[in-house]
Amino acid sequence: MNNLLKDLRQGIRDLCARFPAPYWRTLDHERQYPDAFVKAMTDAGYLAALIPEEYGGSGLGITEASVILEEVNRAGGNAAACHAQMYTMGTVLRHGSAQQKQWLLPAVARGELRLQAFGVTEPDAGSDTTHLTTTATRQEGGYVIRGQKIFISRVQHSDYLLLLARTTPIAEVTRRSQGLSVFLVNLHDALGHGLTVTPIDTMMNHETNALFFDEVWVPAENLIGQEGEGFRYILDGMNAERILIAGECIGDGEFFIEAATHYANDRVVFDRPIGKNQGVQFPIARAYAQIRAADLMRFEAARRFDQDQSCGEEANLAKLLAADASWEAANVAVQVHGGYGFAAEYDIERKFRETRLFQVAPISTNLILAFVAEHVLGLPRSY
């Protein structure tokens, strides 16, 4: 293992040691945002890992960033509270103007500007992104946004929202992926000026919301790149996101396997540790094998990404395999812990709820299978 990854892992472990399980358990119970943890991650520079050095970040690759997120989840935390601050800026970095990058990226790197909300999903357009109906209508000096978004995370802990909206009606474009545009929406300006944010209660401690845009004004200088090209810009960031999320899944899987192994060694029933039973130890061993296999695919995808090679297949496979492996490990951990798997103080049930999300978001497992079938294997499009 290279020294930098080793040092990163140790650094994150040292930081996470200040935020032990009771910290996360209490937040989960109270449905609170991990402000102190996010501040520590920000101040220690980890959330600026992917921002180039010229803009005040560390200029690291997806490999390193995915290891950072992995270690947070491995330590029992939940990186989802702040992972998007790491990569949402990528759209601005790749497609923004020099001026946009100059004012935005250093502020994101310092943590003064939180850009960790990403508005794509709509009530009637989830995975079917190009059918989204939120519109941005050109007017003198800017755009007027109308429509709604759902499951938009971390809006209450963001200063800006990266928004995908339709600028040309679907009837007027030749391909439905055309006519979509990306905007930076200043949430402080928009709130009370057409934007309503309604929190959605979910089964885990994850701040997510429904957004209603009733003529929200966005100045023209907040358009990212060219009008109508937004879908391509968003797709560009997807592979990075897949690989980072795979890292979190692997971290969860490691958490579950370490917890299950520890418990199976310690817990004595019928005068012997339960881990002595093959019925207990084999599922842990199998889950471990699956995590390791997914880990290899994660590193392969990250290597290709960092070397500017095409990585759509590997990034999607890494996310699929890692999410499946973490879910399998979660189930094994609950089973090994028996009743205690359901008791909050063992943290298994909390992590179980958290890792379940990865089967659905940020991309559903079925859509990855559809991608692999169609684009990797050449099977007919199934949807």
Partner 1 sequence: MKILVTVKQVPDTATKIQIRADGQGIQEDGIKWVINPYDEFAIEEALRIKEKQGGEVVIVALGPSRVEEAVRQSLAMGADRAVVISTDAAVDPAAAATALAAVCGEEGFDLILTGKQAVDDDSAQVGPMIAANLGLPQVTVVLKLEVDEAGHRLRAERELEGATEIVELPYPAVVTAQRGLNEPRYPTLPNIMKAKKKEVRRVSMDSLSLALDPRVTVNRLFAPPERPEPTILSGEPEETAKELVRLLHSEAKVL
Query: Which residues are near partner 1 by CB under 8 A?
Result: 3-4, 6-8, 10-11, 14-15, 17-18, 43-46, 48-49, 58, 60
Between 17 and 171, CB nearer to partner 1? 17
Q: Minimum CB separation from partner 1 for residue 58, in Å?
A: 5
Kindly state the tokens that stand for 358: 């990865």
Closest CB to partner 1 among residues 44, 343: 44
**In the numeric block, which tokens belong to residue 147?**
């429509």
Query: Residue 49 CB, nearest distance to partner 1 (Å)?
Result: 6
Residue 154 and residue 45: Cα distance in Å, rounded?
20
Give whichever of 5 and 370 is closer to partner 1, judged by the CB atom: 5
Q: Whose CA is closest to 38, among 77, 11, 4?
A: 77
Instruction: Rank residues 7 and 214 by Cβ distance to partner 1 and give the closer one.
Output: 7
Token look-up 């990226």 returns 105
Residue 70 or 328 with smaller CB distance to partner 1: 70
Q: Which is nearer to partner 1, 1 or 171 (CB)?
A: 1
Q: How far apart are the C-alpha atoms of 376 and 310, rounded to whole Å?
A: 12
Phi first, then psi, for residue 165 (nearest 5°) are -140, 155
**How far apart are CB 46 and partner 1 at their closest, in Å?**
5
Segments in 123-178 forming alpha helices (H): none
**Residue 325 Cβ vs partner 1, minimum distance, rounded to whole Å:** 24
Q: Cβ contacts of residue 331 below 8 Å, gap of 6+?
A: 352
Closest separation in Å from C-beta 56 to partner 1? 10
Which lies closer to partner 1 via its Cβ, residue 19 or residue 143? Answer: 19
Contact 172, 179 (CB under 8 A): yes
Structure tokens at 335: 């089973």
Max alpha carbon distance in the chain (Å)? 79
Beta carbons within 8 Å of 286's beta carbon, 6+ residues apart? 328, 332
Nearest one of 211, 112, 214 to 162, comparing CA atoms: 211
- Report cis status (omega within 30 of 0) of the bond before 283: no
Q: Minimum distance between the CB of residue 200 and partner 1, rounded to whole angstroms? A: 33
Q: How far is the CB of 7 from partner 1 (least distance, A)?
A: 5
Instruction: Mark residue 225 as left, alpha or beta (left: phi above 0; alpha: psi -120 to 50; beta: remaining).
Output: left
Strand stretches in 201-270, DSSP E: 208-219, 223-224, 268-269
- Closer to partner 1 by CB, 57 or 147: give it: 57
Q: Are 251 and 325 in contact (CB under 8 A)?
A: no
State the Cα–Cα distance between residues 334 and 327, nearest whole angstrom.
11
Task: Provide the minimum distance between the beta carbon of 338 and partner 1 in the complex, in angstroms, as a whole number.
Answer: 25
The minimum distance between CB 275 and partner 1, in angstroms, equals 15
CB closer to partner 1 out of 51 and 113: 51
